[in-house]
A and B are shown apart, each in its own frame.
Chain A
Amino acid sequence: MAKTILTVDDSTSIRQMVAFTLKGAGYEVIEAVDGQDALEKANHHRVNLVLTDINMPRMDGLKLLELLRELNHYKTIPILMLTTESGDEMKAKGRAAGATGWLVKPFDPKRLLEVIAKVIN
């Protein structure tokens, strides 16, 4: 059975590029437009990995990460941050909040799939 990935980004083009890459590799993809939307979708679907942006309206990616880690199902599943932010301070915040990894945009589809394959299992 295909694994399901929740991709969260307020940029339509980024969501489409991520979905294109992941679907091409056989993953099921759920898209969310911000942290709030992601939280609602995360509660209604069985997700195997979350890939989230940081700077988003309504709820940012770090807050989403904190709230997901409080939910039983999301305590251990991989949560990757995919963002333009590359500062050490921000990475440290992500790490402290329970992020599995940090990917700086723009992403390369092959490398993204390699990282996902590594952490999703």
Chain B
Amino acid sequence: MTDRKSEDHGSAKPNADELTTNSLYEMLCNVDAEEYFMNIKEDLSQVDRLVSDAVNNLVINFRYISKLTKTHHDMVLAIEKMAVPEKSVPIIELLEKQMVIADKIEQELEMTVTSLQFGDLVTQLLAHTVKQVENLNIELQHIDRQADWKNGRSSVQEKHEGISSAVKAANTRAKKKPVVQQGMQMGDIELF
């Protein structure tokens, strides 16, 4: 891991008045690591926005299809009522077939209600992952500030231990994963 902070090592300490926000930022953290983790967070936010957008559109489509299906169902019933007194067997048979199709569409829509909940699960998982990335960044920055890596005095073993300790600390900070579902099958129900 390169460190911008180390580039200033040995040079004259800048006067506090001369410190711009940027140089202060560079002194306080490892900019490469910071940028790397920022990019990951931006990617995850992009995924979240795309998923949310897709879910919103799917829900709008779902509600529209559901409304149309209900209208269609009601129309078939109304036509059937008109056809029965006429005793038009072919029309009644056709309407019965229409009714079967309408019922099947309604059943499929009901199943879609379960699948359409994927957006909530994905959003929660992404938020959890963003938090993990933030934690790892914080812990790596902490180790980086303490390490002697840049002057070459640290052994490979020490570097490994430093990284392991950062990962362990990040794990300790992490909250329990909020979503353990591996698929979109219906969840358990328990009444107390």
A contact residues vs B (CB 8 Å cutoff): 9, 11-14, 16-17, 20-21, 55, 84-87, 91, 95, 99-111, 115, 118-119
Contact = CB atoms under 8 A, between A and B. Distances in A.
A21 B114 CA distance: 11
B86 interface: no
A20 B113 contact: yes
B180 A100 contact: no
How many B residues are at the interface, by size bracket?
20 to 34
B123 A11 contact: yes
A106 B187 CA distance: 6
Contacts of A119: 191
B184 A100 contact: no
Interface of B: 55-56, 59, 62-63, 66, 110, 113-121, 123-124, 176, 178-181, 184-192
A85 to B, nearest CB: 6
Nearest to A85: B178
Contact of B119 (A13, A20, A95, A115): A13
B56 A107 contact: no
A102 B190 CA distance: 5
Most central of A106, A115, A118 by chain B CB within 10 Å: A106
Contacts of A110: 110
B186 A108 contact: yes
Nearest to A104: B187
